[in-house]
Homo-oligomer: A and B are copies of this chain.
Amino acid sequence: MEPVPRGVVSRLPLYYRALALLDQEKVPLISSQDLGARLQLTPAQIRKDLSYFGRFGKQGRGYNVKRLLLELRRILGLDREWGMALVGVGRLGRAILSYGGFNPQGFKVIAAFDTDPSQIGKKVGNLTVQDFSEMPAAVKSKRLFIGIVAVPPPQAQGVINQLVSAGVKAILNYAPGQSQVPEGVHLREIDPVMALQSLTFYLKNTQEKAAR
């Protein structure tokens, strides 16, 4: 199979979400035209993105919503539960631990680590904070495939390197910066600035109107 470009992979959850909504609305079929209108992508972009995974749509009939939804679920690996290791239980880490959106989607923080002796051994929710030096053993024994990095930005690269050494192949970094991962390891960053940069598009217009 042709390797799927990163940009395509990062759009798949958008498709997944749109299709889940369509399925809830009991829409049985959708054309690439209509799906494109929902996601503001050209129909050709949608057909190209999905073509990496085989032929889903029937010429002129559109995509079977239920079938494509199930396929995307399988393609994205969302048909199982994923254990995650959290590194950093400061303010941000604790906020992440109390975030209620992970579990319903099959993502579960199984172990939490810190290097701060005053944190180690403390209960946070139903987890006990462990020494970061215990991370590699826990990753193996508990099959933690995902690492969440919630340490201050200057420490992020070091933590990422150690997660990678321990065998973690996917990392979600809350400290966006210039972090690097070797080939075969995948990194995503929570980037609030990008969200803000699309909001100001609208504000700028509002401001300009107000100034007229």
Contacts and interface: CB of A to CB of B under 8 A. Distances in A.
Interface in A184-203: 186, 188-203
Given A95-B91, A146-B196, A199-B146, A40 B6 contact: yes
In the complex this chain forms, how many copies of it are found?
2
Given A39-B7, A101-B176, A196 B82 contact: yes
Given A82-B200, A92-B92, A203-B77, A193 B102 contact: yes
A16 B14 CA distance: 21
Across the A-B interface, give the 3 residue pairs with the lowest CB-CB distance, nearest first.
A7-B40, A77-B204, A92-B95
27 contacts: A9-B198, A10-B198, A12-B198, A12-B201, A13-B194, A13-B198, A14-B194, A41-B45, A42-B44, A42-B45, A45-B45, A77-B201, A90-B95, A91-B94, A92-B95, A95-B95, A101-B153, A101-B176, A101-B192, A101-B193, A102-B192, A102-B196, A107-B193, A170-B202, A172-B195, A190-B190, A190-B195
